[in-house]
A and B are shown apart, each in its own frame.
Chain A
Amino acid sequence: MEALRIESIEFGYEPGSPVLKDVSLTVREPSITAILGPNGAGKSTLLKLILGVEKPWKGRILLYGKPLEEYSPRDKARLISWVPQDPPNIPLSVYEYVLLGRAPHLGFLSTPTPRDETIVFTVLEEMDLWRFHDRPVNSLSGGERQLVMIAKAIAQESKIILMDEPTSHLDVGNKIRVLRIVKQLVNQGKTIIYTTHDPNEALLTADNTVIIHNGRIIEQGETGRVVRAENLSRIYGVELREVELNSNRYVLPQL
């Protein structure tokens, strides 16, 4: 089933200087799509457009066949959740923060019900985060905060989860933990779209990869076909080589 279709969008923050040019993309459900590119390529901007925070200058975005702007903010939030790049610096406890994920399921003036609290409890238990539930989010380590942000997105029960560089601040252990959760989520029927500048993450997890450079998609399709040393050398401007280990392919730098 087609979850998302982006048709020839163009967008920029300053008039006359587009950040994204003629971007078209289709995402099927369930799947993992990695948006790969160097810093400043327009990856996060693309996610913001999918989220509906910014409106494209040209082109359109269809969510389950319906134009994005036809959704109410609440209906859209029931379909798409967001894991930001920077962890929130707020003193809410982990439990209180993850509970905010229930907002799209509640009325304008409502507060969370016992059912919402049960859902959050279950998510935190399943992710082994309940032991932190009383700790302020801003007292956690970077890896723990990332997991808590993902927990909030799961509690939101949306079909699509957007993640903006979910592993960029993490050590190797936490990076692997996050990527494992991403894979588990897709097995549960979710559609994950995440940005990264690490080609090996895409090779390890993504069904499809979109390579974006200077605001344009230069390659997209099945990850194994798209993430090749020659494509990446072109956009990163350094020489890369491919190695195979335990039937997994990796891209490594050549110094």
Chain B
Amino acid sequence: MKHYKKTTKWFFLLFLLLTGSFYFSLITGRLPTPLLPSMWTGTLRGVVYDLRLPRIILGILVGTGLAMTGAVYQSIFKNPLASPKILGTTDGAAVGVAAAILWIGTNRVLIELSGFITGLIATLGVLWLSKAIKYGGSVLRLILAGMAVSAFSSALIGLLKFLADPYQVLPTITFWLLGSLNGRGWVDVLYAGPVILAGIIAFHLLRWRVNILGLSDEEAHSLGVNPKLYRGILIGFGSLIVSASTSVAGSIAWIGLLMPHLARALFGADNRYVIPGSGLIGGIMLLLCDTYARSATSYEIPLGIVISFVAAPVFVLILSRRSLKWRR
């Protein structure tokens, strides 16, 4: 059918773009890099393989993971403005990061681990709190609980910043939370990579069933799908991705919200294509933004700022071209 031909064409182009961005990022940086890998010797070899490559891999994983989570959350919460932040996981992870920087110090693995754990705790808190809320249906309860946990986490982050030494510790917390892949290496890939990758694979395998969760709970039930169980599984993988991403790269906004909309503009509404399509676009977008962040100026611009500069006009473009009612 016509639609499938178009879909295959777009996936092929996106794969090509991702491969091209990967190579472009590998040869781009403050240190001039020749085009051929055989010419990467000495210090340059170390820069490419030990500094740029792990950062590129991490960038692709974080971008792909967050964009796929956004696509899944927008479907299961039946809300085109849902993002990976909706369940308080991002702010929860930020609390752990800020607390670890304040009290543990500069050990990056411990900071990331702390963020990962508090991100998961925040999500569990949301799931628990949603049972206590008596207002609205099960989806609205989750969103409301997410808002409450996010607000509480933001207050905690504010408190931790207030307690931090304004000359030594506060800038570190602020810079981390702005979002950056500066200084991330193979250790970070080994720590966060498998967790994010597990989430990406799970989302890819369950992508068609996510369509069913966009229906009413009764309709999902009639198709042999227990909506609460499936939502729980998807939220579980989503919170793993978001906790790992936030703890390793800080608070990366917009990717999870906007990439699914770009994917829908290319593929329509079927999550069989939207979820992997969002992932590819998210990976490319984050990689290119990070490449710009680390090579444009002599002092690295935080990734979160670069992404927001790019995302704001894209957001306006989407709003001007397509209604957020998800019409094609």
CB 8 Å contact bits of A48-89 with B (1 = contact, 0 = none): 100111000000000000000000111111101110101010
CB 8 Å contact bits of B188-210 with A (1 = contact, 0 = none): 00000000000000000111110
Q: Are B212 and A100 in contact (CB under 8 A)?
A: yes
In the bound complex, residues from chain A placing their C-beta under 8 Å from that of B212 are: 100, 103
Q: Is B215 on the interface with A (CB-CB < 8 A)?
A: yes
Q: Is A139 on the interface with B (CB-CB < 8 A)?
A: yes
In the bound complex, residues from chain B placing their C-beta under 8 Å from that of A138 are: 325-327
Q: Are B223 and A100 in contact (CB under 8 A)?
A: yes
Q: Tell me the smallest distance from the CB of A246 to a CB of chain B, in Å.
A: 37
Q: Which of A30-38, A91-99, A184-192 contacts B (4 or more CB under 8 A)?
A: A91-99
Q: Which of A104-112, A202-210, A215-223, A230-238 contacts B (4 or more CB under 8 A)?
A: A104-112
**Known pairs A91-B327, A103-B209; A96 contacts B221 (CB<8 A):** no
Q: Are A139 and B222 in contact (CB under 8 A)?
A: no
Q: Is A90 on the interface with B (CB-CB < 8 A)?
A: yes
In the bound complex, residues from chain B placing their C-beta under 8 Å from that of A93 are: 3, 268-270, 328
In the bound complex, residues from chain B placing their C-beta under 8 Å from that of A91 are: 264, 268-269, 325-328
- Segment 211-227 of B: residues with Cβ below 8 Å from A: 211-212, 214-219, 221-226
A76 to B224, CA, bound (A): 7
Q: Tell me the smallest distance from the CB of A103 to a CB of chain B, in Å.
A: 4
B222's partner among A82, A111, A134, A136 (CB-CB below 8 A) is A82
Q: Is A156 on the interface with B (CB-CB < 8 A)?
A: yes
A48's partner among B218, B223, B325, B328 (CB-CB below 8 A) is B218
Q: Are B269 and A156 in contact (CB under 8 A)?
A: no
**Known pairs A90-B269, A91-B326, A111-B208; A74 contacts B224 (CB<8 A):** yes
Q: Is B272 on the interface with A (CB-CB < 8 A)?
A: yes
A139's partner among B206, B211, B264, B327 (CB-CB below 8 A) is B327
Q: Is A101 on the interface with B (CB-CB < 8 A)?
A: yes
Q: Are B219 and A82 in contact (CB under 8 A)?
A: yes
A52's partner among B221, B270, B327 (CB-CB below 8 A) is B221
In the bound complex, residues from chain B placing their C-beta under 8 Å from that of A96 are: 211, 268-270
The interface on chain B, measured as residues whose beta carbon lies within 8 A of the other chain's beta carbons, has a size of 29
The interface on chain A, measured as residues whose beta carbon lies within 8 A of the other chain's beta carbons, has a size of 36
In the bound complex, residues from chain B placing their C-beta under 8 Å from that of A90 are: 214-215, 269, 326
In the bound complex, residues from chain A placing their C-beta under 8 Å from that of B214 are: 88, 90, 92
A47 to B326, CA, bound (A): 31
Q: Which residue of B lies closest to A81 (CB)?
A: B222
Q: Are B327 and A103 in contact (CB under 8 A)?
A: no
Q: Tell me the smallest distance from the CB of A42 to a CB of chain B, in Å.
A: 16
B208's partner among A73, A81, A112, A162 (CB-CB below 8 A) is A112
A109's partner among B205, B217, B328 (CB-CB below 8 A) is B205
Given A73-B226, A75-B224, 14 other A-B residues pairs in contact with their CB atoms under 8 A: A74-B224, A76-B224, A82-B222, A84-B216, A91-B269, A91-B325, A92-B214, A92-B269, A96-B211, A96-B268, A96-B270, A111-B272, A136-B269, A136-B327
Q: Which residues of A contact B (CB under 8 A)?
A: 48, 51-53, 72-78, 80-82, 84, 86, 88, 90-93, 96, 100-101, 103-104, 109-112, 134, 136, 138-139, 156, 162
30 inter-chain pairs at a CB distance below 8 angstroms, sorted by A residue, are: A51-B221, A51-B222, A53-B217, A53-B221, A72-B224, A73-B224, A74-B224, A76-B224, A77-B224, A80-B222, A84-B218, A88-B215, A88-B216, A91-B328, A92-B268, A93-B269, A93-B270, A93-B328, A96-B268, A96-B269, A100-B212, A100-B223, A103-B212, A104-B223, A109-B205, A134-B3, A136-B327, A138-B326, A139-B327, A162-B222
